[in-house]
């Protein structure tokens, strides 16, 4: 029909519940509904894509009409997209420990208020807590007869505490998101921690920029893996010629202790039971023992580039699948945290993440810590604030000289091409040699 060589349809319906409490005031709380679909078509061509809000599943003439519209779009394209073969199959979605649906919004609101109130401490001028819960039903089908459907439930909260003294304004921020069910219970310590950090930062000094040894905590080292390696290994960027890792498979980029993995199949916040084009998800070792090993792929980028694994296509509801990371991490090594600090001797310890960004073509990345401490003689001393790190993908990874044995994952969201998807990043504590630290402090 219409000369179509391939199509797929991804239809997502769901509801979003949110609560926001700002200085003990329930600012907003409630539920919204959505229904979005995307139809992609190839006619031995590039993609013709229809994004449809409020889609009603249909068949026969009606569906044929949609295919015809998408096929006409495909007819405008100039590229002949080839899809690589990839294994099919869907993982089970993990059982929820407690289903958020079984908890009333009044109770959720009261629990969130407890967290918000636990940040109510001297010198804290503002506390803001948010709860967000997304329940999505995903239905996928394609012209090869593959069909999958599943329900995903993601929920979590964040708490921001702002401390102020004589015009000095600082913040502490904690968050927790989960695919394993309702997670608002017994979380007051998150509020306390956010408040304590904000207050402590009032007395922290500005970091002084320059080259030094840095110890990164598991959360920040995870962001480092995500920004420095993950994005540049995305097959669509490789295909466009917009990654410094293009053509570098098999080359050494770091030392033997360094293995970096993306795995959508593990039960962390970036979990997908099946990818957005119906391909089975799989663990991909991007860097194995310091050597560039495999890229993250969609079926299209796999066919165009090779050297990697499909199953990494992800999409927001109603949006086209892009090659994306899911759960990205540096594997544990065998150093203890004590050994890492002893080896660092003098430098800086960086904790937490305010996010990061990368220019994969240029191979330059930047990311920011929430706070840090100076390391003097292997001991953490003075607290520092507003400190970031930048580096070059092809050289900085050689600077990872020790990997700890204490990997932890942290949930978050990652933006690309206007789409934001849930991810997790993680690592053990790592020691980075010759880190380029940015900060506006001076002697």
Near other proteins in 205-224, by CB under 8 A: 206, 209-211
| Shortest distance (Å) from residue 72 CB to other proteins | 8
Q: Where are the beta strands (DSSP E) in 293-407?
A: 295-296, 308-309, 313-314, 322-323, 327-330, 347-351, 356-359, 364-368, 371-376, 379-385, 388-392, 400-403
Among 67, 90, 387, 414, binds other proteins (CB under 8 A): 387
72-77: Cβ within 8 A, 24+ apart? 72/48, 73/41, 73/47, 73/48, 73/49, 74/41, 74/42, 74/43, 74/45, 74/46, 74/47, 74/48, 75/43, 75/45, 75/48, 76/48, 77/45, 77/46, 77/47, 77/48
- From first CA to last CA, the distance across the chain in angstroms is 72
Among 218, 332, 367, 402, binds other proteins (CB under 8 A): 367
Cβ-based nearer residue to other proteins, 329 or 365: 365
Among 359, 398, 406, 419, binds other proteins (CB under 8 A): 359
| Shortest distance (Å) from residue 349 CB to other proteins | 17
Cβ-based nearer residue to other proteins, 281 or 421: 421
Among 361, 406, 416, 433, binds other proteins (CB under 8 A): 361
- Please, how many CA atoms are within 13 Å of residue 4, restricted to the half-sphere of its CB? 24
Cβ-based nearer residue to other proteins, 191 or 273: 191
Residue span binding other proteins (CB under 8 A) among the ranges 23-31, 341-349, 399-407, 421-429: 23-31
**Segment 128-187, which members bind other proteins (CB under 8 A)?**
128, 162, 164, 167-171
Among 235, 254, 264, 439, binds other proteins (CB under 8 A): 439
Among 84, 191, 218, 363, binds other proteins (CB under 8 A): 363
Q: Are 147 and 140 in contact (CB under 8 A)?
A: yes
**Segment 49-78, which members bind other proteins (CB under 8 A)?**
49-54, 69, 73-74, 76-78
Among 59, 61, 442, 443, binds other proteins (CB under 8 A): 442
Q: Which two tokens stand for residue 188?
A: 């007051």
Q: Which two tokens stand for residue 228?
A: 């420095």
């Amino acid at each position: 029909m219409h000369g179509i060589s391939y199509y797929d349809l991804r239809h997502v319906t769901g509801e979003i519940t949110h609560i926001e409490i700002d200085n003990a005031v329930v600012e907003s709380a409630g539920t919204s509904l959505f229904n979005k679909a995307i139809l992609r078509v190839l006619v031995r061509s590039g993609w013709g894509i229809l994004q449809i809000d409020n889609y009603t599943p249909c068949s026969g003439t009606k569906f044929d009409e949609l295919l015809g519209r998408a096929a006409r779009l495909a007819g405008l394209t100039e590229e002949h997209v080839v899809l690589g073969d990839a294994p099919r199959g869907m993982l089970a979605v993990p059982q929820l420990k407690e289903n958020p649906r079984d908890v009333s919004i009044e109770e959720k609101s009261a629990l969130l208020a407890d967290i918000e109130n636990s940040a109510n401490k001297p010198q804290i001028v503002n506390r803001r807590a948010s709860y967000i819960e997304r329940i999505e039903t995903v239905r996928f089908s394609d012209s090869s007869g593959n069909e999958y459907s599943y329900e995903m439930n993601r929920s979590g909260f964040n708490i921001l505490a702002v401390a102020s003294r004589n015009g000095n304004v600082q913040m502490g921020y904690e968050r927790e998101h989960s695919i394993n069910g309702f997670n608002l219970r017994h979380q007051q310590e998150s509020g306390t921690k956010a408040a304590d950090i904000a207050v402590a930062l009032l007395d922290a000094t500005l970091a002084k920029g320059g080259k030094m040894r840095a110890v990164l905590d598991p959360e920040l080292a995870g962001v480092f893996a995500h920004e420095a390696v993950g994005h540049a290994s995305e097959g669509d960027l490789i295909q466009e010629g917009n990654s410094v890792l293009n053509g570098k498979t098999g080359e050494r980029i770091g030392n033997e202790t360094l293995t970096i993995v993306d795995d959508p199949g593990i039960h962390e916040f970036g979990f997908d039971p099946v990818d957005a084009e119906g391909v089975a998800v799989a663990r991909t070792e991007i860097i194995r023992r310091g050597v560039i090993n495999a890229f993250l792929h969609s079926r299209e980028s796999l066919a165009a580039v090779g050297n990697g694994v499909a199953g990494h296509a992800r999409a927001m509801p109603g949006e086209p699948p892009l090659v994306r990371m899911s759960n990205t991490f540096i594997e544990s090594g065998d150093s203890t945290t004590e050994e890492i600090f002893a080896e660092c001797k003098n430098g800086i310890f960086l904790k937490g993440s305010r996010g990061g960004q990368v220019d994969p073509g240029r191979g330059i990345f930047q990311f920011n810590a929430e706070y840090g401490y100076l390391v003097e003689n292997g001991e953490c001393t003075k607290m520092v604030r507003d400190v970031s790190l930048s580096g070059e993908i092809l050289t900085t990874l050689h600077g990872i000289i020790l990997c700890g044995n204490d990997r932890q994952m942290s949930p978050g969201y990652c933006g690309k091409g206007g789409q934001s998807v849930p991810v997790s990043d993680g690592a053990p504590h790592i020691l980075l040699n010759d880190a380029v630290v940015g900060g506006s402090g001076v002697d």
